[in-house]
Amino acid sequence: MEPETLVEAFTGCEGIFHAASPVTDDPEKMIEPAIRGTKYVITAAADMGIKRVVFTSTIGTVYMNPHRDPSKPVDDTCWSDLEYCKKTANWYCYAKTVAEQDALETARQRGIELIVVNPVLVLGPLLQPTVNASTEHVMKYLTGSAKTYVNAAQAYVHVKDVAEAHVRVYEAPGAHGRYICAEGTTLHRGELCRVLGKLFPEYPVPTKCKDEVNPPVKGYKFTNQRLKDLGMEFVPVLQSIYETVKSLQEKGMLPVLPPGDDVRDNLHEQLMMKPAQLLRN
């Protein structure tokens, strides 16, 4: 991607949504393209007189910090620790953090209204014909390829909510800064597997943790209040999980097995539950 091609593409635009990014932990494929590409977008927008840019970042720029108190909510003021990202070879989070920080500074210098959306792991129906990293996160626990689950926790958001968040921050005159895009529930991987087992008992969902020594990892609490203040209402996490699996089935990526009648009889009520409530039943 070269700056002059962006100038041509941006001609006639009033605003820009920058969502393109490599997704890999290969430093050669991740660092320079993510940082340089984002800088090119901000610079080209400024050169064209475009005043508002919405940048799709990631929760990976927010929470990767071993010194943070896990009991305190993670909000838009939190940043990932670059040295920790390098130490753990998490080059995706490293590159996206540097790209976001550089974009905010470049936007400030060039007079651009830059608004950042930081989604957690995105679930929901697929548009593409292939499995991506987000859907593989769920699919591997249904196919039998994963015999155990890892000792980790994750927050989720529906893909439609991510799209809506971008539109809302673009259209809100007072929108500024960073917006964490998360449904609000953080699930340990064991909880995710138990949810999958409840909703889709026909699949060989693992029941044991790979780490049998340490206590279950507690996930961070993410605040989505800034998006709620713009009128966002988030799809319940159970519905996001269910629609992901149904989409995988419909696209032929996951075999359709005979469902359990007890699950489908009260499906709507189950999807509206909090995960803890479902798992108690």
Q: Which residues are catalytic?
A: 96
Tell me whether residue 109 is exposed, middle or buried, using C-beta atoms within 10 angstroms of its C-beta: 0 to 12, 13 to 18, 19 or more.
exposed
Residue 215: φ, ψ to 5°: -65, 160
Residue 217: φ, ψ to 5°: -65, 135
For residue 92, the surrounding DSSP H or E stretch is helix 91-110
The most distant pair of C-alpha atoms in the chain lies apart, rounded to whole Å, by 60
Cα distances (angstroms) measured from residue 11 to each of 4, 15, 47, 50, 158: 11, 10, 11, 9, 32
Beta pairing partners, 53: 16, 114
